[in-house]
Amino acid sequence: MSKGGRLTTVLGLFLVVVGLVVWAVAALLTPGVPGGVVNFTNTQATGQPVHLTVQTVGSIGFGAHPSWVSYLVKDPKSGKWVHDTSWELPAHTLIDMTVYQYDSGSPLRNQEWGQVMGTVGDSATLNGTNFTSYNSNTGGGVGHTFAIPTLNISVPLVGVSGNPCAVAPCHFNSPHNIETFSFKTPGAGSYNWQCFVPCALGYLFGNGGAMSTQNYMGGELEVVN
Ligand SMILES: [Cu+2]
């Protein structure tokens, strides 16, 4: 092969490698393909509050990433737990949310995430007791947050101690905390929600994997009129 030919081959291979690296980084940073959208728009009479029930688990125990932390949602029609974090909700409607928290927690890196913000009364309940902020240096710490940044909503999800549930959906015989809070949906649009606790063990700064993949630690509120 001529010198020019060899140079072209080396340059070509180099470009292929660069391309692969760019592709791999983009694939790591891009959320996975969204799954289904769970519809909450016709589960109640117009104007009545929507009941939205989720659970957070330390390891989902099935699917492509059984060891990943995840949210699951209770399908309002079938009553079954499903692994979808995109929810269609009616606009300008009160959402009564219940979170069954089955994961352990730890002290927060940013104490701000211990505040309850943007919910009705800027408060939530933890096992029946009202609270407005949680000191993550006490008790079970905080495992996750449920946050909708564009609506300034954030709720700390208090961690449990003891033998955690390993396969979702988890049931009441595993240690859990129950939190409730309400918020009002805005006008129609798409609103991201996500957890802000770097809870993806084994990933860079805890923010890869489940933290950056749809249907695990984040999703969408599809608000419709
Ligand atoms: Cu999380």
Under 8 Å between Cβ of 10 and 18: no
Question: Which tokens in the block code for residue 206?
Answer: 């805890």
What whole-number distance in Å separates Cα of residue 202 and Cα of residue 197?
14
CA of 10 to the centre of ligand 1 (A): 44
Q: Which of 7-11, 63-67, 110-114, 158-162 has the lowest mean pLDDT?
A: 7-11
Beta strands (DSSP E) in 123-165 are 124-126, 129-131, 142-148, 153-158
What are the residues facing 155 on neighbouring strands? 146
State the pTM of this model.
0.83
Interval between CA 24 and ligand 1 midpoint (Å): 24
pLDDT of res. 44:
87
Q: For residue 157, what pLDDT is reported?
A: 98
- The alpha carbon of 4 and the centre of ligand 1 are apart by a number of angstroms equal to 53
Give per-residue pLDDT as tens, 16-52: 565 555 455 444 444 334 468 999 999 888 889 999 9
The pLDDT tens digits for 117-136 are 999 999 999 999 999 999 99
65 CA distance to ligand 1 middle (Å): 15
